[in-house]
Structure 1
Amino acid sequence: MAIPKQVDPNQGTKKTFKWGARHTVLVFIWLGWFLSFLDRMVITLSLPFIGKEFNIDAAAQGLILSAFFAGYALFQIPGGMLADKLGFRRMLSVGIIWWSAFTTLTGAVFSYPLLLLVRFAFGLGEAVLPGSSYKTLTTYFPSKERGTAIGIQSTANSIGNIFASITAAAIIVVLGWRAVFLVLGIPGVLLGVYYWVKFKDNPADHPQMTPEDLAELQADREEEQKQLLADNKSELSFKDIFKTPILWQMIAIWFLADIAIWGFSSWMPSYLMNVRGLSVMKTGIYGSLPFLFGAIGILLGGRAADRYRDKIKWLFVGAAALGGVFIYLLFVAPSTEMTIFYQCLANGLMCFSQGVFWTMVSDSFPASLMGSGSAAVNFGGQVAGLVAPAAMGFMIKASGGSYNAAFLLLVVSLVAAAVLALTIKKRSIA
């Protein structure tokens, strides 16, 4: 990112909050993530109806979920590299328009193999979002505010899930599952056009950017360069980050954590309908509550990460381990009410750990490689998204419809992520 040299970094820092370019950018990045989760998660509530129409069992339904993650994982790192090379503006615009088209096509296919292909292509489009958006936030926000910014951005994940549950339930009851997908592609196309017209890869080109904000960003980049020189490094390359242990630790941690996150969100609606006996409308309403807790958890996680930077690893460890405990309690709960209660606590803690984790990631790579670095870490999570839904589907089928073994997989994965996080000794490679 080019910051004009003539800007004096000593011009001062704002003492009170004032809306600026970075806040506008954050709002529209949030909307992109909101639509991405709305588009990808409505299928979880639609899955039982898709299963009936296509006459497929739980294992085949799990493959529908995993087809998305196959495309999402495959293009994760290339998408991040392209964001670093071509700019996040182009990648965000093309990505959201692409995935919106395949969202609509999901509701138009009548063949199971073609449905798998459409969901795979849908995943390819969404794959550019993580690297591009984290690069955007790292470009526009100084390091001291990134945890909070990432926490706010990440609330879109949970709020998108809330709207996915309620929207899908309401439309399915009235118009059927296909209508859900046919209408959801329109907002994404409009947002993609906005990104193309309004977003700027260089903050200096943004019409809302002030000299004071530019000075703050410049000072932040200069500090980053000083740290590189202190470590006897020139500008890090893409190859360099793959030689650092912390990258591989974070990939492994996020793989394990996302086994739980994606397995949990993918199969809970079916569990509530098939095991706890809830109707589709009640599943949509009650199933949205854990994601409200998740939105709060992510916000608190980002804030806590900014405030307790020296204890950031322990924040993740504690939240992930406790999340595993509550996942165990939810499937052994004696009543549906207790299941929903434990589900809320589990999701709140998993999302808290997510807000903390991505602050750790944002601190671990220089801004010039944030697209590639964050995409590499997120790739581990998307491999988990590919594995978890399909594995759980096969486990449910093999156990005659019981979800116990499948949920135990999530518990073990979260606890393992917490244990592995204990091995992190150096927070940053930048």
Structure 2
Amino acid sequence: MPARRPLIIWSIAVLVYLAAVFHRTSLGVASLEAGARFGLGPAALGTFTVLQIGVYALMQIPTGLLVDRFGARRVLTVAAALMGLGQLLFAVATSYPLGLLARAVLGVGDAMTFVSVLRLVAAHFPARRYAALAAITAALGALGNLIATLPLAVLLDDIGWTATFAATGAATAAYAIVLALRVRDNPPGAIQRRREPQSLPAVLGQVRHAWRTPATRLGFWMHFSTMFAPAMLGLLWGFPYLVQAQGLPRPVASTVLGVLVLGAIVGGPAIGAVISRRPACRTPLVVGYLLAALGSWAVLLGWPGGHVPAGVLVAGFAVLSIGGPASSIAFALARDYNPMHRVGTATGVVNVGGFVAITVSAAAVGVLLSLFEPLGSPTAFRLALLAVVAVLLLGLWRTSVWWRRARAAVFDAVARGEDVPVRIRRRAWDLAAA
């Protein structure tokens, strides 16, 4: 039993992360129903996702501090309760302001999950397994996205809005009891770091130290660049794009959206295995994905006539789906280059990146869709989704900048005789940058 305890704790924690992803992405399939229920246009409908993801992004650094201060178990328990409450409120909401409040509460609970799960992984497993487990965690969480596609669409058609969201919210709130009873912050016999209350300057100093670490900054921009596009499509605009702009039937559109999830489920363990064996490949793998993503968007948005064949849509979404697993590399950098007592904070800093990008891109697409006529046409979506390409180009640029700086920091540490988590070879462009 002692040998299996870390795996059991991780499994229990992963289930609440799966629930978080389900609740986060549930509006993707229900977006058309939400528009009809609340009487909303594209920009106002996009506010649901912008608010929820904006709250998520704002909560990441506070969540990291809370995890480092109070422990992952307490934070996860509160997270499950808040997510359940938010979804129950969303089930009965009939007015736009109440719906926004429900998604905000849900966003706060969601924000507390992933950082807490990764902190448990860092405490209960050896460092060499962290990258693989982070990738597998993200892949298993993607099952929540899969449940939020076709199965959720079927439930909404069969039992309706209120019953569907009320049942899922109640189940999530009840799971908080399991987390409180079964999860432990540290393995038995581990040295317990005493958690003293910290002053505001000390807290800000911890965030500042994490942000000044070049690998943390590189992780921020990696996460910013990799996970936002598939998440934005799954959260809100993918379903309307496939149904309204591409003319796909709703079940077919749900299936195409499922490609984003299946790619994440398959890609997570695969990427985790690669970067565990060859950690020096972590950043090149991310850059390769970003270039492939740019190519996919060029094909999807540049297709003559705007109506993309179904096979090309599936292939493009399959390429974009790797962004979720690739984003887990950013957390491995935060784990490797920060001391254990600051890992939660650094992980929160990194996690901000992707959700800032989701917030910006989702809001921009909603606003641009409202400006172009006819509403929901292939041309309108093609022009609006150019905002996604702009965010992707920004992320690729900043990732390349901080890749060079993080490599320089590693070379400096080696020159001082310090141990580094990953040995890398000096390249010609390192010498040119120096």
Short-chain TM bin: 0.7 to 0.9
Per the TM alignment, residue 68 of structure 1 is displaced from its structure 2 partner at its CA by: 0.7
| CA pair 324-19 structure 1, distance change in 2 beyond 3 A | farther
One-letter amino acid of the structure 1 residue matched with residue 322 of structure 2: L
Q: Per-residue CA shift, 1:121-172, capped at 9, x if unaligned?
A: 2111111112211111111111111111111101123221111002221012
Which of 210, 215, 223 is the matching residue for 1:246? 215
> 1:116: how far off?
1.0
Residue of structure 2 equivalent to 1:267: 237
Change in 2 beyond 3 A, CA 1:33/1:327: farther
Matched residue type, 1:114: L
Relative to structure 2, which stretch is displaced further, 160-169 or 177-186? Answer: 177-186
How far did residue 238 of structure 1 move? 4.3
Contact 1:299 1:355 (C-alpha < 8 Å) held by counterparts: no
Shift of 1:21: 2.0
**1:99 and 1:126 in contact (8 A); partners too:** yes
Structure 2 Cα separation of the partners of residues 171 and 29 of structure 1: 26
Q: Say yes or no: does 1:149 pair with 2:133.
A: yes
The answer to whether 1:404 aligns with 2:379 is no
2:53 to 45, 57, 69: 69
- Any idea what the Cα deviations from partners look like across 1:171-229, whole Å, max 9, x if unmatched? 12222333331111133223221110011112116xxxxxxxx7xx99xx9xxxxxxxx
Report the CA distance between 1:19 and its aligned residue: 6.0
Q: Percent identity?
A: 22
Note if contact 2:9-2:182 (Cα within 8 Å) is conserved in structure 1: no
| AA at the equivalent of 2:83 | W
Note if contact 2:56-2:108 (Cα within 8 Å) is conserved in structure 1.
yes
Alignment counterpart, residue 284 of structure 1, candidates 239, 254, 275:
254
Q: Which amino acid in 2 is paired with 1:33?
A: Y
Instruction: Encode CA deviations 1:303-344: one digit per residue, 9 max, x unaligned.
Output: 111111122110111012212222332344554412432243
Q: Does 2:42 correspond to 1:58? A: yes
Letter in 2 for 1:379: V
Q: Which amino acid aligns with 2:313?
A: I
Contact 2:259–2:321 (8 Å) recurs in 1: no
CA 1:130 to 1:183, structure 2 compared with 1: closer, same or farther past 3 Å? Answer: same
CA contact (8 A) 1:331 1:339 kept: no
Displacement of 1:258 after TM fit? 4.1
1:13 equivalent in structure 2: none
Which of 89, 99, 107 lines up with 1:115 in the alignment?
99
Q: Which residue of 2 aligns with 1:166?
A: 150
Pair 100,288 (structure 1): closer, same or farther in 2 beyond 3 Å: same
SS in 1 for 2:385: helix
**In 1, Cα distance between the equivalents of 2:315 and 2:386?**
15
1:338 aligned onto 2:318: no
1:95 corresponds to: 79
CA contact (8 A) 1:134 1:370 kept: no
Cα distance change on mapping 1:139 and 1:151 into 2, 3 Å: same
After TM superposition, the score normalised by the length of structure 1 is 0.83
TM-score normalised over the length of structure 2: 0.82
User: Contact 1:148/1:299 (CA < 8 Å) preserved in 2?
Assistant: yes
Indicate how the Cα distance of structure 1 residues 104 and 416 shifts in structure 2: closer, same or farther if over 3 A, else same.
same
| Mapped partners of 2:163, 2:364: distance in 1 | 29
1:148 and 1:302 in contact (8 A); partners too = yes
CA contact (8 A) 1:39 1:103 kept: yes
Unaligned runs of 5+ in 1: 1-17, 206-213, 222-235
**Equivalent residues in 2 for 1:29-428, closer than 5 Å:** 29-204=13-188, 237-265=206-234, 266-333=236-303, 334-400=307-373, 401=376, 402-423=380-401, 424=403, 425-426=405-406
Q: C-alpha separation between the residues in 2 aligned to 1:245 and 1:146?
A: 20
Whole-Å separation in 2 of the counterparts to 1:300 and 1:115: 38
CA-based RMSD: 2.5
Amino acid of the structure 1 residue aligned with 2:396: A
Query: What letter matches 2:77 in structure 1?
Result: S
User: Which amino acid counterpart does residue 405 of structure 1 have in structure 2?
Assistant: L
Q: Per the alignment, do residues 412 and 58 of structure 1 end up closer, same or farther by CA in structure 2, a change over 3 Å counting?
A: same
Equivalent pairs, count? 387
* CA separation of 1:352 and 1:414: change in aligned 2, threshold 3 A: farther
Q: Contact 2:12–2:183 at 8 Å: present in 1 too?
A: no
Q: Partners in 2 of 1:406 and 1:365 — Cα distance? A: 39
Code of the residue aligned with 1:357 in structure 2: it is A
SS at match of 1:203: coil
Q: Whole-Å Cα distance in 1 between the matches of residues 173 and 98 of structure 2? A: 23
Pairing of 1:15-26 with structure 2 (within 5 A): 20-26=4-10
Counterparts of 1:204 and 1:133 in 2: how far apart (Å)?
Answer: 18
Which shifted more, 373-382 or 282-291?
A: 282-291
> Aligned to 1:391, what secondary structure does the other structure show?
helix
Q: 1:286 and 1:252, CA in 2 relative to 1: closer, same or farther beyond 3 A?
A: closer
Q: Which amino acid aligns with 1:250?
A: G
Structure 2 letter corresponding to 1:241 = A
2:141 and 2:298 map into 1 onto residues whose CA distance is 23
Measured at CA, do residues 101 and 416 of structure 1 come closer, stay the same or move farther in structure 2, by a change above 3 Å? Answer: same
- Amino acid corresponding to residue 337 of structure 2 in structure 1: S
Task: Give 1:399 shift.
Answer: 1.9
- Give the SS at the match of 1:56: coil
Contact map agreement 2:130 2:332 (CA 8 A) in 1: yes
Distance 2:321 2:19 in 1: 21
Query: SS of 2:212's equivalent?
Result: coil
